[in-house]
């Protein structure tokens, strides 16, 4: 005997948790749930984030800027534990009314400037430091097109495929098929672009690559949702080449560590306040110090 098909009511009301891994932090209203000021460190740029793909975009960008010698890109990276609802604290909502990581405060000028949405942060930093965004109009526009492609496409990967394949309380064949089809189409879009181009905008590594890589590079290596085999990610050879090439960059390796709270303790730098933290304050070293 099968359950009766769902018939939507005339007016939807929120009368129960929706189930799944993130049910406790999902709600149909915005605004803060509690009062909590955010800490402020010593650097001009204050980042409040977590090492999700969206968070990694920005820490990679900041580490790449520092690698180029932009001292003004020094930053404090504070940990926002979204599973605990830190993003609904009043201080965080003041920076990002959408209550999503990452969020950035630039305190280098006479008045602090808030920047939210990962694509906006990448563009802001590229403009501020004159880096990783081409100067000629054709290549610049290509980079911006791929940046916006990622912002529009990734919700189908994360909120669509990832949710129904990995996080939903039960499997729905239609939903998984629908979003798997779309994600594979997106991988094919990338693979075709990268067949004749070293990077997404052409020969130059840009904020477009920094935006796309944490999502689709992780997918290509089977690191998200346990879906590599299911999606046959090995078939996208050009995406694989591009993913491996970016992963070798020292700044990318550092950026992936910042605000990370899972995986190998040696790869986790929960908060970053100084360049030396990569050598002295990774989680393996902090844990070893506690037992010494």
Residue 25: what pLDDT?
A: 83
Do 86 and 96 meet the contact criterion of CB atoms below 8 Å apart? no
Rounded CA separation 75/78 (Å): 10
The tens digit of pLDDT for each residue in 71-129 reads: 999 999 999 999 999 999 999 999 999 999 999 999 999 999 999 999 999 999 999 99
Residue-averaged pLDDT of the chain: 95
Question: In angstroms, how far is CA 4 from the centroid of its own chain?
Answer: 39
Alpha carbon dihedral 168, 169, 171, 172, in 10-degree steps, equals -70
With CA atoms as reference, report the closest residue to 25 among 94, 78, 79, 81: 81
pLDDT at 292 over 80: no
Rounded CA separation 112/150 (Å): 28
The tens digit of pLDDT for each residue in 237-280 reads: 999 999 999 999 999 999 999 999 999 999 999 999 999 999 99
Length of the chain: 292
The tens digit of pLDDT for each residue in 4-16 reads: 888 999 999 988 7
Residue 60: what pLDDT?
A: 98
Sheet-wide strand order for 75-79: 75-79, 45-49, 103-106, 113-116
In the 3-class helix/strand/coil scheme, how is the chain assigned residue by residue?
CCCCCCCCCCCCCCCCCCCCCCHHHCCCCCCCCECCCCCCCCCCEEEEECCCHHHHHHHHHHHHHHHCCCHHHCEEEEECCHHHCHHHEHHHHHHCCCCCCCEEEECCCCCCEEEECHHHHHHHHHHHHCCCCCCCHHHHHHHHHHHHHHHHHHHHHHHHHHHHHHHCCCCCHHHHHHHHHHHHHHHHHHHHHHHCCCECCECCCCHHHHHHHHHHHHHHCCCCCCCCCCCCHHHCHHHHHHHHHHHCCHHHHHHHHECCCCCCHHHCECCECCCCHHHHCCHHHHHHHHHC
Residue 1: what pLDDT?
A: 43
């Amino acid at each position: 005997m099968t359950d009766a098909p769902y018939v939507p009511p005339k007016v939807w009301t929120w009368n129960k948790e929706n189930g799944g891994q993130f049910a406790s932090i999902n709600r149909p209203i915005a605004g803060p749930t509690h009062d909590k000021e955010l800490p402020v460190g010593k650097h001009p740029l204050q980042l409040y984030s977590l090492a999700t793909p969206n968070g990694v975009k920005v820490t990679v960008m900041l580490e790449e800027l520092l690698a180029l010698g932009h001292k003004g890109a020094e930053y404090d990276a504070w940990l926002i534990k979204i599973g605990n609802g830190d993003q609904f604290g009043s201080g965080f909502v003041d920076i990002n009314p959408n209550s999503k990581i990452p969020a950035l405060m630039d305190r280098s000028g006479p008045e602090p400037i808030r920047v939210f949405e990962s694509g906006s942060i990448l563009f802001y930093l590229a403009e501020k430091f004159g880096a990783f965004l081409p100067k000629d109009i054709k290549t610049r526009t290509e980079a911006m097109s791929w940046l916006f492609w990622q912002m529009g496409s990734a919700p189908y990967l994360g909120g669509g495929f990832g949710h129904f394949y990995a996080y939903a309380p039960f499997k729905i064949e239609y939903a998984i098929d629908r979003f798997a089809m779309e994600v594979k189409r997106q991988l094919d879009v990338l693979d075709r672009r990268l067949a004749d181009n070293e990077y997404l905008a052409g020969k130059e590594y840009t904020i477009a690559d920094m935006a796309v890589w944490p999502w689709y590079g992780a997918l290509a290596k089977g690191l998200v949702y346990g879906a590599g085999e299911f999606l046959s990610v090995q078939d996208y050879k050009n995406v694989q080449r591009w993913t491996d090439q970016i992963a070798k960059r020292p700044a990318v390796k550092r950026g992936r560590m910042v605000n990370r709270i899972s995986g190998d303790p040696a790869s986790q730098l929960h908060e970053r306040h100084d360049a030396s933290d990569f050598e002295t304050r990774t989680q393996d070293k902090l844990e070893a110090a506690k037992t010494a």
